[in-house]
Amino acid sequence: MSIENTASAQWKGSLKEGGGSLSTGSGALKETPYDFRRRFEGAAGTNPEELIGAAHAGCFSMALSLVLGEAGYTADSIDTQAKVTLDPDSLTVTDVHLTTVGRVPGADQAAFEEAANGAKENCPISKLLTARITLEATLKE
């Protein structure tokens, strides 16, 4: 059985002067604005890369908890930051750097690093970054 989640975006206008909004099926985002300035010029507000970073940090932290549990450890806390780098010239996400700090009773640094590397390779969002993407496009008059 598959689990499906939904999100949507609406955009109006040109790239630099236009704007859009992002919404999620859960309501966590509801018509959250985004635009060129927020994405490429550092203006306050969200953008797709920031949302990918939040998703990756959350997914990785959960995956790390799973891997640690399989090794017999229970984390008191896992705090992860994701830095997503967008090259504005090529419009390519070039890097995602995860930084994680865990408080895991009984684990040593080597065990934590091994678990973190396993989580990095196997969390669904890490895998998404190499996933097959399909598209259906319809033009309305």
- Round to whole Å and give the CA distance between 14 and 141: 18
pTM as predicted: 0.89
- Quick: pLDDT tens for 60-116: 999 999 999 999 999 999 999 999 998 889 888 888 999 999 999 999 999 999 999
- Quick: pLDDT tens for 88-100: 898 888 889 999 9
> What b-and-e string marks burial along 10-41, b requiring 16 or more CB atoms within 10 Å of the CB?
eeeeeeeeebbbbbeeeeebeeeebbbebbee
Contacts with 101 (C-beta within 8 Å, 6 or more apart), sequence order: 78, 79, 80
- Round to whole Å and give the CA distance between 16 and 98: 30
Other CB atoms within a 10 A radius of the CB of residue 98 amount to: 19
Q: What is the mean pLDDT of the chain?
A: 92
Q: Which of 9-13, 33-37, 57-61, 136-140 has the lowest mean pLDDT?
A: 136-140
What domains appear along the chain, each with residue ranges and CATH number?
1-46 (no CATH), 52-130 (3.30.300.20)
pLDDT, residue 127, reads 87
